[in-house]
Amino acid sequence: MTRLILLIACLTLVSPTDFAQSPEHANPGCQVKDGRTVCSLYWLRKAVDAAHTAKAEYSERDRATGAQLKDLAKSLGKTVIQSDQPADLTFTVAPAPLSGVDIGPADEEILELRVYSGDDTERKLVWVETYRGQKDRSWPANVHAAIEQFRQKLSQS
């Protein structure tokens, strides 16, 4: 009987919000902390596993990026749909925000591969893959490298 009372007392000390704040049960998506976007690999994997359809958002002038994003979606087993239709996942690539003056040959933030879940009306950012590299490489080569980096991260256990 005392064990039961002790168990009930312990359970009342752990509130539902404590449970919700653990990494596995945190709010899905990404949050901004100290000026950096932080995303949960756990929730990314859940979103990718649950998705059936995907679309790529890209500029009409950047068809090479569109083709690479569509290939990424297909390789994840998703049906690629038109950009004007609702999808479970949306992949997009954008130049990384400017961070100031570039000095020397060091790697710089080149681009961000972003993954959103949900249709356009309720879409939520679930992943940001920042690619760092040399600015003298072509944009399609950097997009390819970012996608490969993303695939590697997604396949890690």
Of 126, 107, 109, 111, the closest CA to residue 38 belongs to 126
Tally of domains in the chain: 1
pLDDT of 22 strictly over 50: no
pLDDT band for position 106 (cuts 50, 70, 90)? low
Is the pLDDT at 7 greater than 70, yes or no?
A: no
> Which pLDDT score is estimated for 33?
84
Q: Quick check: 113 pLDDT over 60? A: yes
- 63 falls within a domain: yes
Task: Using the CB atoms, write b or e for 92-126: b if 16+ within 10 Å.
Answer: bbeeeeeeeeeeeeeebbbbbbbbbbbeeeeeebb
Across 71-87, b (16+ Cβ under 10 Å) vs e yields ebbeeeebebbeeeeeb
Residue 83: inside a domain: yes
Asked if residue 15 belongs to a domain, the reply is: no
Is 6 inside a domain boundary?
Answer: no
Q: Per-residue pLDDT tens for 58-85?
A: 998 999 999 999 999 999 999 999 988 9
Taking residues 50-64, report their average pLDDT. Answer: 94
Angle in degrees, CA 38, 13, 21, rounded to 5: 10
Find the domain containing 81 and state its range. Answer: 22-155
Judged on CB neighbours under 10 Å (0-12, 13-18, 19+), 21 is: exposed
Q: What is the CATH number of the domain that holds 110?
A: 3.30.160
Q: Does 5 fall in a domain?
A: no
**Residue 109 lies inside a defined structural domain of this protein:** yes
Q: Is residue 149 part of a domain?
A: yes
Tell me if 7 is assigned to some domain.
no
What's the whole-number mean pLDDT along residues 98-126? 82
- What pLDDT score was predicted for residue 156? 83
